[in-house]
Amino acid sequence: MTTYFDDLETRSADEREAAQMEALRAQLRAVQGLRGYRDSLGLIDPSEIDGMADLAVLPVLRKSELGAAQGQSSPFGGFTAKTAGEFAHIFQSPGPIYEPGEISHDWWRVGRFLHAAGIGRGDIVQNCFGYHLTPAGMIFESGARAVQAAVLPAGVGQTELQVRAAADVGTTAYAGTPDYLKVILDKADEMGVALKITKAAVGGGALFPSLRQEYTDRGISCLQCYATADLGNIAYESPAMDGMIIDEGVIVEIVRPGTGTPVAEGEVGEVVVTSLNPDYPLIRFATGDLSAIMEGTSPCGRTNKRIKGWMGRADQTTKIKGMFVRPEQVAQLVAKHPEITKARVIALREGEMDVMRVQIEGGNDAASYEGSVAEVLKLKGAVECVPVGSLPNDGKVIDDQRTFG
């Protein structure tokens, strides 16, 4: 097996950006006539998008907007030029949100991840991702096909039968959520059955270090990817296990939650992804997940940027004194005062009452911001000016510290 899936993984940063910007400009020209993008991108001149910094002029597309558009124009909301019947598959995720799928080569780009995980020709992959309505099963099956591995389409459940099948067909690799592999292994131990699984490619949940170590102790190399039904593979681990390398088929930005404004490298924010898939061109699609760009490149030799992996949810909307407070409102408060660099709303409970405290970086006179806080957040709260750089780098703009029950 070659070290890399293809030459794209080791190209220079300049080569990558030039190629991605060219693909993005073509994408922008193609989507301007689509119903889903007509209002938001109709006046954008694609020729003015020269580099990553220019992406900030494009609007962010949120899942709630995608769902609303699909309600008006079923099933895909006008975000693709293809009709439903022109796709190979149509999937349903909670919402419901409908996603298209194709069977063309590595449509979701998971083959790149499976190759990094050492899975390829001669392997038999027990695919324990769901096949019912949701796309995860097909996403990983498509990736296995791209690396010429055989697939046992197992899905989830019937663990005893899974163990028997794994033993009978000689499964060498597992694909599924991080914890279900342990269920299979424990059942195999209980049944006294020896399995040949030495590789695992996981996603869809947290891979805790203790669980990875347990797999390592069993002789199983376990790597994880970050993928979604809408976007396919976004980032993945390599054997270096030093962050998650951004996939070559997407552009990833980290923005201030509730905005489309990029944060400084290393700062935690919301993951916003532009897919360069012409079949389903999602542009600046907000995942709702938090992460951060890491400094440098992976020791494995892949040259794309890396993210730290999943670090929580960006949608920190909470209710204080019966009123919703949203990240977008905190962003509006910061934008209202040029001297403010960052702000955080803290929800507390004192006695039996909700209390709101607002911490502000960059201000000097806390009292002078009380009016803006009440106007923008629709609630009164204590304002505290704190030194620049003192708020934690965790992506939180709303910190609910209340405990209930």
pLDDT greater than 60 at residue 405: no
Q: How does pLDDT run across 131-164, given as a tens digit for each residue?
A: 889 899 999 999 999 999 999 999 988 999 999 9
Task: Say yes or no to pLDDT of 125 above 80.
Answer: yes
Confidence at residue 95, expressed as pLDDT on a 0 to 100 scale: 80
Mean model confidence pLDDT for the chain: 93
Query: What beta strand segments (E) does 171-284 contain?
Result: 173-176, 199-202, 221-228, 232-236, 244-246, 250-255, 269-275
Q: Which residues contact 210 (CB under 8 A, 6 or more apart)?
A: none
Q: Across the beta sheet with 269-275, what order do the strands follow?
A: 250-255, 269-275, 285-291
pLDDT at 97 over 60: yes
Q: What's the CA gap between 219 and 217, in Å, rounded?
A: 5
Tell me the mean pLDDT in the region 363-388.
93
Residues 183-187, mean pLDDT to the nearest whole number? 95
- For the chain, percent of residues with pLDDT exceeding 70: 99
Does pLDDT of 38 surpass 90?
no
Write out pLDDT tens, residues 286-345: 998 999 999 999 999 999 999 998 888 888 888 888 788 988 899 999 999 999 999 999
Query: How much of the chain, in percent, has pLDDT values that exceed 90?
Result: 80
User: What strands, in cross-sheet order, belong to the sheet with 398-400?
Assistant: 382-386, 353-361, 342-350, 398-400
What does DSSP assign to residue 143? H
78 close to 69: Cβ distance less than 8 angstroms: yes
Q: Which residues pair with 398 in a beta bridge?
A: 345
Q: Considering only 56-70, 175-189, 297-311, 315-329, which range has the smallest mean pLDDT? A: 315-329
- The whole-number pLDDT of residue 404 equals 61
Q: Alpha-carbon distance 335 to 256, whole Å?
A: 12
For every residue of 19-69, DSSP letters joined together read: HHHHHHHHHHHHHTTSTTTHHHHTT--GGG--SGGGGGGSPPBPHHHHHHH
The model's confidence at residue 64, banded by pLDDT at 50, 70 and 90, is: confident
The per-residue pLDDT for 114 is 98
The HSE-up count of residue 254 (CA atoms within 13 Å, CB side) is: 24
First to last CA, the chain: 55
Per-residue pLDDT, 195: 98
Helix 180-191 to helix 209-217 angle (10° resolution) is 40
